[in-house]
Amino acid sequence: MAAAAAAAAGPVLWRRLLGLLPGRPGLAALLGRLSDRLGRNRDRRRRRSPWLLLAPLLSPTVPQVTSPPCCLCPEGVHRFQWIRNLVPEFGVCSSHVRVLSSPAEFFELMKGQIKVAKRRVVMASLYLGTGPLEQELVDCLESTLEKSLQAKFPSDLKVSILLDFTRGSRGRKNSRTMLLPLLQRFPEQVRVSLFHTPNLRGLLRLLIPERFNETIGLQHIKVYLFDNSVILSGANLSDSYFTNRQDRYVFLQDCPEIADFFTELVDAVGDVSLQLQGDDTVQVVEGMVHPYKGDRAAYCRAANKRVMDVINSAKARQQVLHAQTFHGDSLLTQEDAAAAGDRRPAPDTWIYPLIQMKPFEIQIDEIVTETLLTEAERGAKVYLTTGYFNLTQAYMDLVLGTRAEYQILLASPEVNGFFGAKGVAGAIPAAYVHIERQFYGEVCSLGQQERVRLQEYWRRGWTFHAKGAGAALPVLRRGIVCHLRAAESAGEAVGKDGDPADQELLLRTDRCCPEWP
């Protein structure tokens, strides 16, 4: 309440705060809405910050399907076929996909996968924590690297870790100091890359203090890869994400094409990042423009090319594989494949990695998400889950304007990661509740309570961080859409539709609040 009173009494202060956050649209939008909505008595159906009205105009054009549906492809591919024009499409067998249910399962699986890795370990996260559980993870890496050196035959095991520079450098003991022993002992096998946003530079970089500088832009990809198996998650490498912070985790087992793609993607982002050295200094990859000392436009062009080369190369490979799978003579039933022993069964699950790196003018995630919400039709059910409810105006309008049913799961204030924090951060849960109430007010004013439902996740002693999107569409069999947002993104999401049990994982909640008092 104190935060609300302060916002109402001093809108100029809030606007000054917004001025300090040019590169963090999610947080800026949150503060802007809180200021505008508390400071003015507007029509309940359209209470939005005036500058956010420009959002639809700034959104990328929704792509059109450039080729007709393939009559030879399974039915479930038809609806998503247009995404192949933007990103690579990976077809896998559903028996290779496992949804994990708890932080402890996530932690134990990672340790187990590290211990048996023979060729590569790739880990991309916002940061690595500094507690005993994080040290246990580093010890697993050290033990596996040590075994690779002692093997009878020389091992080509490589460990690549991608983190955010500002978050990974916070404090005297940080992600960098945790990983320095690995770099010092295994300099030929370990690479640690620290992404630094090009928007944090000059006087801005000198004046904004630690912690606050993270609002300008971050590396936010969460991928954990071991040989040919991949964990896609929203979880960071920190103790709470291993114990009592509920997130989502999809384990893709023995999927070499997917593992190769994410290895190349992390390598690409790593190449445009700063490289940690054994003496705790950082260097730029030879020939690369410095992210904050060099020319910003030149850096962003180079980064765009490096990342898009990976996407386009993988897309071309997968298009060839698609033609061979569905248009050649290699398509087998699972029974036939098992009998043959040397040919893979027909895929029944499709994975589309959606990349969002706005400083590099890569906004594939926005395009696909907006298109999926736009095309949601009557009879479709859309599931959204987020730890921080702050939909853009464009997304709110799509939810309110389409005919699909929406079930939205979000964190109750008590399980928000900022609950109980000191200073301004402590008011963030109340701000999200305010936005949530206003959105639900619009739902009620339009008489759409039966079509758009909101639920809150609550579990004593836990926090909630899961962000995902899933859809049950009339003609859809199975599909996975993976959202990977990096360099100035609020998060990323993975949604799987198919078995009801998969949906139940996203919608499990101990406290349901479909109606507001």
Q: The tokens of 200 are what? A: 């944090």
**Residue 286 neighbours by CB under 8 Å, 6+ apart:** none
Q: Please identify which residue in the block is written with the tokens 């007709």.
A: 68
User: Is 309 labeled as catalytic in the residue annotation?
Assistant: no
Of 158, 196, 222, 467, the catalytic one is 222
Q: Please identify which residue in the block is written with the tokens 């071991």.
A: 226
Helix/strand/coil for 369: helix
Strand-by-strand arrangement of the 190-195 sheet:
97-100, 249-252, 229-233, 223-226, 120-124, 158-164, 190-195, 274-276, 282-284
CA-based torsion, 318, 472, 506, 363: positive or negative: positive
Cα dihedral: 443, 30, 273, 355 (round 10):
10
Of 158, 196, 220, 358, the catalytic one is 220
User: Is 322 labeled as catalytic in the residue annotation?
Assistant: no
Q: The tokens of 343 are what? A: 């040919």
Pairing mode, strands 158-164 and 190-195 = parallel
Helix/strand/coil for 242: helix
Q: Can you count the helices (H) and strands (E) in the chain?
A: 18, 20
Report the 3 state secondary structure along 122-162.
EEECCCECCCHHHHHHHHHHHHHHHHHHHCCCCCCCEEEEE
| 5 CB-contact burial (10 Å; exposed 0-12 / middle 13-18 / buried 19+) | exposed
Partnered with residue 191 across adjacent β-strands are 160
User: Is 434 labeled as catalytic in the residue annotation?
Assistant: no
Of 227, 267, 271, 397, the catalytic one is 227
> Would you give the distance in Å from CA 491 to the centre of its chain?
4
The vertex-410 CA angle with 404 and 415, nearest 5°, equals 170
Catalytic positions are 220, 222, 227
